[in-house]
């Protein structure tokens, strides 16, 4: 242990990390609380063209303090870099360097958001180059930002406008404290679907949401966040976790459903409960998951099959029931919890990573099936989150793991919950089949 | 949500106070919405440090979570405990205040030995039927682990006198009366005050009187464990129970018990009767800790809250026997209450689909069944023309009962009512009539309370 640790911190990347470990406390992230202003300080919009102008007009209508030109030494709450008309790599220079001049004026916990076109949407090599180039640019810039500031990007599919409902929904999410632990990430807006909430404080008002695995940790945080955002919440967990589940249910004024989601009839039971008790079902959050870690060489059938059964097979079966149900037709939303392990892999987690990779594949393939009903399905992939589970990781390992991201700290369960609540809202209706990482831009992985 | 106006405009002022069949037709229905209990734990187990109030609050909170009753003002909550500390004078109200219910929910305590739980259901159901309240929670709790221990009668008198003494010499004089024997605590026991016999010894007399064999008692116990285990396996309790302190099943349950194992146990009661002693720890209920709750409502209230209506509480009946003079066995009162209740509704055993006869001891159940099959007893003691009849064993305690689940005295009624309501709802109609279930609970003091529930 000591040997490996010494090797790690004595050179290269590890040395840098070790230096960082000696630094004072990483900044306290600005996390969303009801009543909080969307951004702290003026918003500078860089970029020219109608997309930028329309966006500026919209932000003005939100009563934000919008700047089209930087005022030297004025602290900024956010910089929005609108690059949707960039046709070739040379087009980046002017707006990007203009934004660069303002980076030192960013307030703590400020935001940089790029708005550009999805690279997959073009066959023109130069356009593809600039669009893909923005990916590298943003991810690098996010790593340069300090003091809790984050950089994220919105990718518009061809046809989507900078002011499409979900482009604005994603922009609000990235600007706000809801995205505190989301860094270096992109969200693709693929359609005009979706609708911004009438009441930004209660984006889920009138919705009935089901959260699996809600007895504790991230699941309980999801239940609280959905409740805060106005949803009626049904919390689900295995019968053996019923006491914790009851506490969560009572906290969020919801109902508890003790149910093993790997049961054959779980989907129907969930639908029946939501419809009978609450008159419908709008949102399902597949959060329940288990780990049974073992090196693949030592893997046994029980560890493998239980992880696959709970983490992915159950979700597939429940989704089948949801898709077949007439009660899940009114802009239904599904959000699944994946994991960065499913993206980057993790030693000892072949079964878990297979299941979580599976979740991402499922989400991609299910998106078109839900589109017919104005629905969407997405996944959130948490990185290092401070939970009871990660608290059991040995100190040194944990300390390294939680510093290995651009924000130099672990995320909170609520950070994952915020991303899920956003993707479950109608403001994200034009975003579907996507995987959003909530990892503080973890240095390992994608 | 506030109570709706039904109680103000209901029919309570319009029918005669005497309960007749005509008046009964004007009553509203009281429905069982569902229930929640914590797993029952053998004494000295995981609930050792849990008070009655802790357990009742936990059972209430689980019920609230299941049915979304947070901040709801329930019409009334009634519960009780058999073994009760003096500080628990307002046990149920305190549990309500500690729960997620509205603090404006009234509550009262009730105590009728082991019939406490069922009696809370009947009393509250009656209030709902009368239109006095629209919703209610019935319940019961008991801890044999956290039982009250009182100071001896001598010490109690000395302490009270000491409090009244005004001067130092007076106080010293009072204290001088203290003797070592006064310091021995007065622990509770299950002995009958008027006979000095424990409940088990009383039942041993009855068991011997009705010539109930050891094999028959062991078989009943075996079936109880087998049925309860099967119910757990089928997920029957998923919506009836909320885990507590790490326990998610009744700790007394022995899914792997066998008739051979039960037969190997030594008798514990009736060893001095002359006849063969047949009652063992296996065919008697152990001391148990636990709590249960049942949500009752008018049909309108249940509908307005989008809640299920599992069963209706048709009626109940209490009886008591003169066990002090040996006329009947201590736990035989239900044998008298059941035929009276059936007769009031023109029903026979053929009209009953589930028999829930509380297994205080296997001998209690079997003695009661034997009495109902006995022509002589039914003619002379019950005033019937002949035997009341035989209970179809296939309909008896089909999801297990107290021998397997355990028996936290006041909590047993709520356990049975909620489970039976679920079974009746699943059964639905039988031959064009609602499925019916009979509950029979014996209690200390020679009492018994019985009830009939119908599928809604």
- Percentage above 70 pLDDT, chain A: 94
Nearest by CB to A239, which of B58, B68, B238? B238
Angle at which helix A12-21 crosses helix A395-403, to 10 degrees, equals: 100
Nearest by CB to B238, which of A249, A253, A258? A258
- Percentage above 90 pLDDT, chain A: 73
What confidence tier does A318 reach under pLDDT thresholds 50, 70, 90? Answer: very high
What confidence tier does B248 reach under pLDDT thresholds 50, 70, 90? Answer: very high
Minimum CA–CA partner of B246 in chain A: A240
Query: Is residue A430 domain-shared with residue A308, that is, in the same domain?
Result: yes
What confidence tier does A331 reach under pLDDT thresholds 50, 70, 90? Answer: very high
Sheet with A255-258: list strands edge to edge: A255-258, A232-237, A208-212, A283-286, A333-337, A376-382, A435-438
What confidence tier does A44 reach under pLDDT thresholds 50, 70, 90? Answer: very high
**What b/e sequence results for A253-277 when a residue is b if at least 16 CB atoms lie within 10 Å of its CB, and e otherwise?**
bbbbbbbbbbbeebbebbbebbbeb
pLDDT digits 0-9 by tens, B342-356: 999 999 999 999 999
How far, in Å, are A99, A182, B20, B319, B351 from residue A43 at the CA level? 12, 19, 78, 80, 77
Interface test with chain B among A238, A255, A262, A273, by most B beta carbons within 10 Å: A255
Minimum CA–CA partner of A277 in chain B: B306
Query: Does pLDDT of B327 surpass 80?
Result: yes
| A335-349 average pLDDT score | 88
Q: What is the pLDDT of residue B188?
A: 65
Contact: A258, B308; criterion CB under 8 Å:
no
What confidence tier does A72 reach under pLDDT thresholds 50, 70, 90? Answer: confident
**What b/e sequence results for B179-214 when a residue is b if at least 16 CB atoms lie within 10 Å of its CB, and e otherwise?**
eeebeeeeeeebebeebebbbbbbbbbbbbbbebeb
Shortest distance between the Cα of A178 and any Cα of chain B, in A, equals 28
Q: Is A359 exposed, middle or buried (0-12, 13-18, 19+ CB in 10 A)?
A: buried
The CA distance from A199 to A208, in Å, is 17
A78, A112 contact by CB (below 8 A): yes
Shortest distance between the Cα of A239 and any Cα of chain B, in A, equals 6
B153, B316 contact by CB (below 8 A): no
Q: How many domains, chain A?
A: 2
> Does some domain include residue A86?
yes
B228, B405 contact by CB (below 8 A): yes
Q: What is the pLDDT of residue A445?
A: 47
Q: What is the pLDDT of residue A9?
A: 46
Residues of A in contact with B295 (CB under 8 A): none
Altogether, the residues listed in chain A come to a count of 446
pLDDT digits 0-9 by tens, B251-304: 999 999 999 999 999 999 988 877 788 999 999 999 999 999 999 999 999 999
B→A contacts (Cβ < 8 Å), by residue, are 58, 61-62, 64-68, 70-71, 100, 235, 237-239, 241-245, 248, 306-308
pLDDT digits 0-9 by tens, B359-403: 999 999 999 999 999 999 999 999 999 999 999 999 999 999 999
Query: Is residue A413 domain-shared with residue A368, that is, in the same domain?
Result: yes
| A395-423 average pLDDT score | 87
Query: Does pLDDT of B70 surpass 50?
Result: yes
Quick check: helix, strand or coil at residue B74? coil
The CA distance from A337 to A438, in Å, is 10
Q: What is the pLDDT of residue A20?
A: 63
- Percentage above 90 pLDDT, chain B: 77
Q: What angle do CA A420, A241, A379 make, to 5 degrees?
A: 20
Q: What is the pLDDT of residue B412?
A: 97
Q: Does A208 touch chain B (CB under 8 A)?
A: no
The CA distance from A172 to A32, in Å, is 12
Distance between alpha carbon B11 and the CA centroid of its chain, in Å?
A: 31
Number of neighbouring beta carbons within 10 Å of residue A295? 10
What confidence tier does B11 reach under pLDDT thresholds 50, 70, 90? Answer: very low
Residues of A in contact with B62 (CB under 8 A): 242-243, 246, 256
Query: Is residue A177 domain-shared with residue A315, that is, in the same domain?
Result: no
Q: What is the pLDDT of residue B8?
A: 41
Residue where one domain finishes, among candidates A138, A155, A189: A189
The CA distance from B96 to B92, in Å, is 6
> Does some domain include residue A196?
no
Query: Is residue A180 domain-shared with residue A132, that is, in the same domain?
Result: yes
The CA distance from B46 to B403, in Å, is 19
Q: What is the pLDDT of residue A18?
A: 61
| A192-213 average pLDDT score | 93
| B307-329 average pLDDT score | 95
Query: Does pLDDT of A38 surpass 90?
Result: yes
pLDDT digits 0-9 by tens, A290-308: 889 889 999 999 999 999 9
Query: What's the CATH code of the domain at A213?
Result: 3.40.50.720
Residues of B in contact with A279 (CB under 8 A): 306
Interface test with chain A among B33, B64, B65, B68, by most A beta carbons within 10 Å: B65
What confidence tier does B18 reach under pLDDT thresholds 50, 70, 90? Answer: very low
Contact: A239, B66; criterion CB under 8 Å:
no
| A238-251 average pLDDT score | 96
Q: Does A300 touch chain B (CB under 8 A)?
A: no
Q: What is the pLDDT of residue A12?
A: 64
> Does some domain include residue A5?
no
Shortest distance between the Cα of B305 and any Cα of chain A, in A, equals 8
Minimum CA–CA partner of B101 in chain A: A250
Query: Is residue A221 domain-shared with residue A336, that is, in the same domain?
Result: yes
A131, A118 contact by CB (below 8 A): yes
A115, A55 contact by CB (below 8 A): yes
Mean pLDDT computed over every residue of chain A: 90
Nearest by CB to B65, which of A240, A241, A246? A246
Q: What is the pLDDT of residue B98?
A: 97
Shortest distance between the Cα of A233 and any Cα of chain B, in A, equals 10
DSSP string, A187-255: EEE-SS-----SSTT-TTTT-EEEEESTTSHHHHHHHHHHHHTT-EEEEEE-GGGHHHHHHHHHHTT-E
Query: Does pLDDT of A277 surpass 80?
Result: yes
Query: Is residue A266 domain-shared with residue A298, that is, in the same domain?
Result: yes
Altogether, the residues listed in chain B come to a count of 456
- Positions of A annotated as catalytic residues are 352
Nearest by CB to B65, which of A256, A260, A263? A256
Residue where one domain finishes, among candidates A158, A189, A220: A189
Query: Is residue A160 domain-shared with residue A229, that is, in the same domain?
Result: no
Nearest by CB to B306, which of A239, A254, A277? A277
Nearest by CB to B306, which of A242, A247, A278? A278
Residue contacts between A and B (CB atoms, under 8 Å): 65
Residues of B in contact with A258 (CB under 8 A): 238-239, 242
Facing residues of A154 across strands? A115, A187
Contact: A246, B61; criterion CB under 8 Å:
yes
> Does some domain include residue A24?
no
Query: Does pLDDT of B4 surpass 80?
Result: no
Q: Does A147 touch chain B (CB under 8 A)?
A: no
pLDDT digits 0-9 by tens, B74-101: 999 999 999 888 888 999 999 999 999 9
Query: Does pLDDT of A442 surpass 90?
Result: no
The CA distance from B63 to B295, in Å, is 8
Distance between alpha carbon B29 and the CA centroid of its chain, in Å?
A: 22
The CA distance from A298 to B268, in Å, is 51
Query: Is residue A329 domain-shared with residue A359, that is, in the same domain?
Result: yes
Q: What is the pLDDT of residue A15?
A: 55
Q: Is B221 exposed, middle or buried (0-12, 13-18, 19+ CB in 10 A)?
A: buried
> Does some domain include residue A146?
yes
Q: Which of A25-34, A168-177, A183-192, B396-405 has the lowest mean pLDDT?
A: A25-34
What confidence tier does B34 reach under pLDDT thresholds 50, 70, 90? Answer: very high
Please list, in sequence order, all residues whose beta carbon lies within 8 angstroms of the beta carbon of residue B7, skipping any fewer than 6 positions away: B75, B131, B132, B133, B134
Q: Does A276 touch chain B (CB under 8 A)?
A: yes
Q: What is the pLDDT of residue A269?
A: 96
Q: What is the pLDDT of residue A5?
A: 38
What confidence tier does A218 reach under pLDDT thresholds 50, 70, 90? Answer: very high
Query: Is residue A129 domain-shared with residue A276, that is, in the same domain?
Result: no
Helix ranges, B234-361 (H):
259-263, 299-304, 333-344
Quote the strand ranges of B10-163, DSSP E. 30-37, 41-42, 76-79, 107-109, 135-142
Query: Is residue A84 domain-shared with residue A218, that is, in the same domain?
Result: no
Nearest Cα to B367, choosing from B339, B335, B395? B335
Residues of A in contact with B65 (CB under 8 A): 245-247, 249-250, 255-256
Minimum CA–CA partner of A239 in chain B: B238
Query: Is residue A132 domain-shared with residue A230, that is, in the same domain?
Result: no
Mean pLDDT computed over every residue of chain B: 91
The CA distance from B391 to B348, in Å, is 10
> Does some domain include residue A134?
yes
What confidence tier does A398 reach under pLDDT thresholds 50, 70, 90? Answer: confident
How far, in Å, are B148, B315, B344, B436 from residue B351 at the CA level? 43, 15, 13, 7
Query: Does pLDDT of A80 surpass 80?
Result: yes
What confidence tier does A402 reach under pLDDT thresholds 50, 70, 90? Answer: confident
**What b/e sequence results for B438-447 when a residue is b if at least 16 CB atoms lie within 10 Å of its CB, and e otherwise?**
bbbbbbbbbb
- Positions of B annotated as catalytic residues are 114, 407, 442
What confidence tier does A4 reach under pLDDT thresholds 50, 70, 90? Answer: very low
The CA distance from A435 to A426, in Å, is 17
pLDDT digits 0-9 by tens, A350-367: 999 999 999 999 999 999
Facing residues of A336 across strands? A286, A379
Facing residues of A256 across strands? A235
Residue where one domain finishes, among candidates A130, A157, A189: A189
B146, B48 contact by CB (below 8 A): yes
Query: Does pLDDT of A2 surpass 80?
Result: no
Number of neighbouring beta carbons within 10 Å of residue B322? 9
Residues of A in contact with B67 (CB under 8 A): 255
Nearest by CB to B239, which of A245, A258, A278? A258
**Run of H or E residues at B404:** helix B402-405
> Does some domain include residue A1?
no
Minimum CA–CA partner of A243 in chain B: B243
Q: What is the pLDDT of residue B237?
A: 96
Q: What is the pLDDT of residue B7?
A: 42
> Does some domain include residue A396?
yes
Q: What is the pLDDT of residue A13?
A: 65
Query: Is residue A176 domain-shared with residue A216, that is, in the same domain?
Result: no
Query: Does pLDDT of A283 surpass 80?
Result: yes
Shortest distance between the Cα of A287 and any Cα of chain B, in A, equals 20
Contact: B70, A243; criterion CB under 8 Å:
no
Range of the domain at A150: 34-189
Nearest by CB to A255, which of B61, B68, B241? B68
Q: Does A254 touch chain B (CB under 8 A)?
A: yes
Contact: A243, B62; criterion CB under 8 Å:
yes
Residues of A in contact with B239 (CB under 8 A): 258
What confidence tier does B20 reach under pLDDT thresholds 50, 70, 90? Answer: very low
| A51-59 average pLDDT score | 93
């Amino acid at each position: 242990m000591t040997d490996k640790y010494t090797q790690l911190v004595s050179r290269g990347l590890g040395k840098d990390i070790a230096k960082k470990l000696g630094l004072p406390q990483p900044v306290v992230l600005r996390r969303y609380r009801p009543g909080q202003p969307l951004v702290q300080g003026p918003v500078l919009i860089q970029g020219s063209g109608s997309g930028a102008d329309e966006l500026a007009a919209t932000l003005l209508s939100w009563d934000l303090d919008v700047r089209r030109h930087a005022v030297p030494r004025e602290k900024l709450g956010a910089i929005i870099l609108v690059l949707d008309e960039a046709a070739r790599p040379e087009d980046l220079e002017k707006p990007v360097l203009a934004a660069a001049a303002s980076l030192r004026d960013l307030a703590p916990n400020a935001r940089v958001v790029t708005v550009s076109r999805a690279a997959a949407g073009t066959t023109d090599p130069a356009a593809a180059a600039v669009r893909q180039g923005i990916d590298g640019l943003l991810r690098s810039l996010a790593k340069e930002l300090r003091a809790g500031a984050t950089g994220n990007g919105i990718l518009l599919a061809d046809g989507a406008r900078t002011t499409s409902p979900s482009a604005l929904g994603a922009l609000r999410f990235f600007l706000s404290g809801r995205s505190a632990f989301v860094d270096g990430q992109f969200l693709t807006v693929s359609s005009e679907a979706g609708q911004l909430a009438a009441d930004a404080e209660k984006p889920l008002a009138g919705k009935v949401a089901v959260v699996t695995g809600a007895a504790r940790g991230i699941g309980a945080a999801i239940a609280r966040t959905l409740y805060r955002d106005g949803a009626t919440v049904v919390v689900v967990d295995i019968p053996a976790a019923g006491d914790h589940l009851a506490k969560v249910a009572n906290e969020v004024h919801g109902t508890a459903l003790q149910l093993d989601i790997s049961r054959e009839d779980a989907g129907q039971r969930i639908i029946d409960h939501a419809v009978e008790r609450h008159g419908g079902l709008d949102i399902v959050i597949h959060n329940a998951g288990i780990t049974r870690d073992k090196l693949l060489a030592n893997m046994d059938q029980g560890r493998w099959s239980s992880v696959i059964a709970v983490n992915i097979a159950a979700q597939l079966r429940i989704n089948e029931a949801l898709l077949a149900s007439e009660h899940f037709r009114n802009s239904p939303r599904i959000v699944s919890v994946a994991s960065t392990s499913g993206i980057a892999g993790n030693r000892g987690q072949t079964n878990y990573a297979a299941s979580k990779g599976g979740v991402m594949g499922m989400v991609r393939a299910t998106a078109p099936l839900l589109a017919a009903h104005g629905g969407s399905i997405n996944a959130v992939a948490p990185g290092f989150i401070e939970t009871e589970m990660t608290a059991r990781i040995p100190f040194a390992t944990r300390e390294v793991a939680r510093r290995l991201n651009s924000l130099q700290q672990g995320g909170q369960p609520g950070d994952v919950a915020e991303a899920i609540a956003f993707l479950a809202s109608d403001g994200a209706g034009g975003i579907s089949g996507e995987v959003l990482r909530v990892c503080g831009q973890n240095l390992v992985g994608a | 949500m506030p109570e709706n106006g039904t109680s103000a405009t209901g029919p309570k002022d319009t029918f005669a106070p005497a309960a007749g069949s005509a008046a009964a037709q004007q009553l509203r229905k009281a429905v069982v919405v569902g229930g929640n209990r914590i797993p029952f734990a053998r004494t000295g187990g995981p609930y050792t440090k849990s008070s009655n109030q802790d357990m009742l609050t936990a059972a209430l909170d689980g019920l609230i979570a299941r049915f979304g009753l947070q901040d709801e003002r329930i019409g009334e909550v009634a519960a009780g405990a058999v073994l009760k500390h003096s500080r628990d004078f307002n046990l149920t109200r305190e549990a309500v205040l500690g729960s997620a219910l509205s603090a404006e929910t009234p509550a009262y305590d009730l105590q009728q030995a082991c019939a406490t739980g069922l009696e809370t259901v009947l009393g509250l159901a009656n209030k709902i039927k009368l239109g006095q309240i629209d919703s209610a929670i019935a319940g019961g709790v008991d801890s044999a682990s956290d039982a009250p221990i009182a100071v001896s009668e001598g010490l109690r008198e000395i302490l009270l006198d000491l409090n009244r003494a005004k001067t130092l010499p007076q106080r010293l004089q009072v204290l001088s009366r203290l003797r070592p024997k006064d310091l021995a605590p007065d622990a509770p026991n299950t002995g009958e005050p008027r006979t000095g016999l424990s409940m088990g010894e009383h039942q041993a007399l009855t068991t011997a009187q009705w010539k109930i064999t050891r094999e028959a008692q062991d078989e009943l116990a075996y079936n109880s464990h087998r049925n309860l285990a099967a119910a757990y396996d089928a997920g029957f309790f998923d919506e009836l129970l909320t885990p507590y302190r790490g326990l998610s099943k009744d700790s007394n349950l022995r899914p792997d018990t066998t008739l051979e194992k039960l037969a190997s146990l030594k008798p514990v009661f009736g060893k001095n009767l002359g006849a063969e002693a047949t009652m063992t720890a296996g065919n008697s209920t152990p001391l148990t800790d636990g709590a249960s709750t049942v949500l009752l409502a008018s049909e309108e209230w249940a509908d307005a809250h989008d809640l299920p209506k599992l069963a209706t509480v048709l009626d109940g009946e209490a009886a008591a026997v003169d066990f002090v003079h040996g006329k009947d066995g201590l736990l035989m009162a239900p044998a008298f209450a059941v035929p009276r209740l059936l007769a009031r509704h023109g029903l026979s055993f053929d009209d009953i689909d589930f028999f829930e006869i509380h297994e205080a001891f296997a001998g209690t159940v079997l003695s009661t069944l034997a009495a109902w099959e006995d022509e002589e007893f039914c003619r002379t003691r019950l005033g019937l023309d002949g035997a009341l009849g035989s209970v179809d064993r296939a309909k008896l305690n089909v999801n297990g009962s107290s021998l397997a689940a355990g028996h936290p005295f006041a909590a047993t009624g709520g356990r049975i009512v909620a489970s039976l309501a679920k079974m009746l709802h699943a059964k639905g109609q039988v031959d064009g009539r609602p499925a019916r279930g009979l509950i029979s609970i014996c209690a200390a003091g020679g009492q018994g309370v019985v009830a009939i529930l119908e599928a809604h």
